[in-house]
Amino acid sequence: MHQIKRIIELYQEGRSIWETKRLTGLSRNTVREYLRRIKSSGLSPGQLLALDEESLIPFMYADTFEQGHGGRKVDARYQTIEKDLDRYCSELSRRGVTRQLLWEEYRKEYPEGYGYSQFCGYLRQHNQKDQAVMHFTHQAGEQLQVDFAGDKSGYVDISTGEWIACEVLVCVMPYSNYMYVEALRSQKQEDFIGGLTNALQYLQGVPSCIKCDNMKTAVIRANRYEPQFTEAMEHVAAHYGTTILTARVRKPRDKPSVEKGVDLTYKRIYAPLREQIFHSLEQLNAAFLKQLELFNARSFKNKVGCRKQWFESDEKPKLKDLPSMPYEIKHVTYSKVQRNYHVILGTDRHQYSVPFTLIGKRLKIIYTTLTVEVYHDLKRVALHARNYKKNDYTTLAEHMPLNHQHINEQRGWNGDYFEQQASMIGESTLQVIRRVLESKIFYQQTYNSCLGILRLGKQYGKDRLEAACLRVLTAPLVNYGMVANILKRNLDKVPITEPISPVPRHEQIRGADLYQ
């Protein structure tokens, strides 16, 4: 306004447009426009200068819709489109309605109207009036915002080579922007609540409220004022002494901190791990946690400190204490014990072993995200870590009949196992076992011989077995029968009159290599 008054003073002094431009620093067209307004005001320069700023405004400022730059009138076509802008913007929210369609309808009604680019420009300008955003000041420890990342992560099942896609839960404390990220098997209720429980354990406290969107695992019926939560979520809130809130439907700005947190998850966790391949959910989450710790300790760009520092100094002291035990969803089902002494958990199509004496019985199964418990007549008969691999088995050796245990034991044999058992008896026994293992092309053909030799130690004692093995080392070929014959005839007790040593190798002894 002081520049306008300066222009009026210079005009009163009779200065030219060029001089006024030089003295005020304004453009020539701007000076000309204000001089035009001074002349058309109907008042003298002295009368205009006597007015206060508020009274001077109507004379010096024109409505931007009525006048353009340099005093030129705005195109009259704007008046025809202005009255319909609200309707056009409303129509855009309807399914299938596009700007192109609205413009075509507009041109049918006004053939001399604006072109497509100007039409879209006025729509965009009108829409900006409704796009103002409000800044919220979050209180320390007040809220935890949670959401799932749109892009999934995953790992490769090492047994099948299959890519297992995982949902990624992102949790953010808005005050400090402190984050927690975890990969989950799915968005199902038990996985989501398990991830939420882990997030609270990571924070080592409970905020006043937890805000999520209207996901089916948490909300039965979405409502802006009174959403209806699932029973499990109500139990979670009661267990931790917190409140569950939801954002409005299709209003991501109701939880902007976690929306930004999802983007940061892609940049700070996904991207650094993009070249790594993981073979289990545990490996994946261990890598996530390592990157998360680095990110939370990363300094802010425009603020002093980091997320971890802000959280621990301002938010953590204001969190509620965690309950003594974390919340777990427990499911109950029943299954009949099959002839293979396993029960089937139908949810995962996975089979778990129980004592074989219960074949044919109907047992009660109580399972959580981590464990599977099997009960018979109120007594727990089996406890397993939960396995999500479909059509697979989890079997404990103690649940098998004795003959099955023996077969299972044989399937686990290898050369290292027999050498380890022999080394616990003595050096001579170890040498004999090694020579037996080397006597066949396929190790599996020698396992029974090795097993028989080692069992002789149980029958005759380790000392006698070691002595018998010492006496067969001079033979060109050793086997179970030779060792057993020495022990049976008590030849291991006969004193050794000459030092026993292997036959020295020399040119006149032919080896196996000459018969190839």
Structure confidence at residue 508 (pLDDT) = 57
Q: Is the pLDDT of residue 497 over 80?
A: no
Q: Is the pLDDT of residue 153 over 80?
A: yes
Name every residue whose Cβ is closer than 8 Å to that of residue 324 and which is 6 or more positions away in sequence: none
Residue range 182-200: mean pLDDT, rounded: 92
CA distances from 433 to 437, 479, 487, 512 (A): 6, 9, 16, 19
Report the half-sphere exposure of 300 (CA within 13 A, side-chain side): 12
Closest by CA to 417, choosing from 397, 447, 453, is: 447
Q: Which residue has the higher pLDDT, 76 or 364?
A: 364
Residue range 352-380: mean pLDDT, rounded: 92
- CA 90 centroid distance within chain: 38
Whether the Cβ atoms of residue 327 and residue 235 lie closer than 8 Å to each other: yes
Entry pTM = 0.54
| 172, β-bridge pairs | 145, 179
Residue range 486-497: mean pLDDT, rounded: 84
CA distance 253 to 247: 8
Residue range 488-516: mean pLDDT, rounded: 64
Residue range 276-304: mean pLDDT, rounded: 93
Name every residue whose Cβ is closer than 8 Å to that of residue 54 and which is 6 or more positions away in sequence: none
CA distances from 494 to 453, 467, 468, 478 (A): 20, 10, 10, 19
Q: Is the pLDDT of residue 297 over 60?
A: yes
Mean pLDDT of the chain: 85
Structure confidence at residue 68 (pLDDT) = 44
N-to-C CA span, the chain:
110
Q: Is the pLDDT of residue 60 over 60?
A: yes
Structure confidence at residue 71 (pLDDT) = 44
Structure confidence at residue 506 (pLDDT) = 53
Q: Which residue has the higher pLDDT, 369 or 496?
A: 369
CA distance 32 to 38: 10
Over residues 403-433, the pLDDT tens digits come to: 777 665 655 566 788 888 899 999 999 999 8
Helix (H, G, I), strand (E, B) or coil at 71: helix
Over residues 88-110, the pLDDT tens digits come to: 888 888 888 899 999 999 999 88
Structure confidence at residue 65 (pLDDT) = 38
- CA 503 centroid distance within chain: 66
Residue range 320-347: mean pLDDT, rounded: 90
